[in-house]
Amino acid sequence: MALDPKSHLTDLLRSALESVAPEQRGVAILLERPKQASHGDYASNLALQLAKAQKTNPREIAGRLIRELPVSVWVDAVEVAGAGFINFRLTAEAKTGVVQDILERGDDYGRSALGAGRKIQVEFVSANPTGPLHVGHGRGAAYGASLASLLAFAGFAVTREYYVNDAGRQMDILALSCWLRYLAQLGEHVPFPANAYQGDYVGEMAAQIRAAHGERYLHPAAAVLACLPTPAGPPLGDRPEATEPDPDARLDGLIRAAKDLLGEDWAYIHQHVLTEQLADCRADLEEFGVHFDVWFSERSLYDTGMVERAMARLEKHIYVQNGAKWFRSTAFGDEKDRVVQRDNGLYTYFASDIAYHLNKLERGFDKIVDVWGADHHGYIARVRGALTALGCDETRLDVALVQFVSLWRGTERVSMSTRSGEYVTLRELRGEVGLDACRFFYMLRKPEQALDFDLDLAKSQSNDNPVYYVQYAHARISSVLAQSGGVTTADADLSLLGGERELALCARLAAFPELIESAAADYAPHAIAFYLKDLAAEFHSYYNAERILVDDAAQRGARLALAAALRQVLRNGLRILGVSAPESM
Q: What is the rounded CA–CA span in Å between residue 375 and residue 34?
A: 37
Residues spanned by the domain of 488: 462-577
Helix intervals (H) in 314-396: 349-362, 379-389
Position 231 pLDDT exceeds 60: no
The residues pairing with 414 across neighbouring beta strands, listed in sequence order, are 407
Question: What are the E-state strand segments in 42-109?
Answer: 42-44, 75-81, 85-90
**566 and 469, same structural domain?**
yes
Instruction: Please say whether the dihedral angle defined by the alpha carbons of residues 390, 393, 396 and 397, taken in this order, is positive or negative.
Output: positive
| Length reported for the chain | 585
Give yes or no for residue 404 having a pLDDT over 70.
yes
Q: What is the pLDDT of residues 256-300, one digit of tens each?
A: 999 999 999 999 999 999 999 999 999 999 999 999 999 999 999
Contact (CB, 8 A) for 289 and 435: yes
In a domain, 289, yes or no: no
Coil, strand or helix at 302: helix
- What are the CA-CA distances from residue 209 to residues 175, 198, 223 (Å)? 12, 17, 20
Residue 236: the pLDDT is: 47
pLDDT at 585: 87
Asked if the structure places residue 487 within a domain, the reply is yes
pTM of the model: 0.91
> What are the tens digits of pLDDT across the range 556-574?
999 999 999 999 999 999 9
Over 50: is that where the pLDDT of 242 sits?
A: no
Band (486; pLDDT cuts 50, 70, 90): low
What are the tens digits of pLDDT across the range 196-213?
A: 998 899 999 999 999 999
pLDDT in tens, 14-39: 999 999 999 999 999 999 999 888 88
Distance CA 277, CA 298 (A): 16
Burial class of residue 349, CB neighbours in 10 A (0-12, 13-18, 19+): middle
The predicted structure's pLDDT at residue 230: 64
Tell me the C-alpha distance between 126 and 495, whole Å.
52
For residue 515, is it within any domain? yes
CATH number at residue 554: 1.10.730.10
As to burial, measured by CB atoms within 10 angstroms (0-12 exposed, 13-18 middle, 19+ buried), residue 46 is: buried
Average pLDDT over residues 142-151: 98
455 residue type, one letter: L
Are residues 470 and 566 both part of a single domain?
yes
* 32 part of a folded domain: yes
Mean pLDDT of all residues in the chain?
A: 93
For the segment 330-386, what is each residue's pLDDT rounded down to a tens digit?
A: 999 999 999 999 998 999 999 999 999 999 999 999 999 999 999 999 899 999 999
Of 53, 74, 90, which residue sits at a domain end? Answer: 90
To the nearest whole percent, how much of the chain has pLDDT over 90? 86
Q: What is the mean pLDDT of residues 303-327?
A: 97
Residue 287 inside a domain? The answer is no
**Which of 90, 121, 152 corresponds to the end of one domain?**
90
Q: Give the mean model confidence (pLDDT) for residues 530-534.
A: 98
CB 297 within 8 A of CB 290: no
Q: 102 falls in which pLDDT band (50, 70, 90)? A: very high
What is the Cα–Cα distance from 240 to 236, expressed in whole angstroms? 7
Q: What is the CATH number of the domain that holds 16?
A: 3.30.1360.70
- pLDDT for position 414: 74
**Residue 72: inside a domain:** yes
At 407 the pLDDT is 87
pLDDT tens for residues 215-228? Answer: 999 999 999 999 88
Is residue 513 in a domain? yes
Confidence label for 1 from pLDDT (cuts 50, 70 and 90): very low
467 lies in the same domain as 559:
yes
Q: Which domain-ending residue is among 47, 71, 90? A: 90
Nearest partner of 107 among 582, 572, 558, judged by Cα: 572
Over range 402-425, report the average pLDDT.
75
- pLDDT reported for residue 334: 93
DSSP 312-333: HHTGGGEEEETTEEEE-GGGGT
Residues 264, 267, 270: CA angle, nearest 5 degrees: 150
Give pLDDT tens digits for 44-53. 999 999 999 9
Q: How many domains are there within the chain? A: 3
Q: Residue 496, Cα to own-chain centre: how many angstroms? A: 41
pLDDT for the residue 408: 85
pLDDT of res. 94: 92
Structural domain contains residue 76: yes
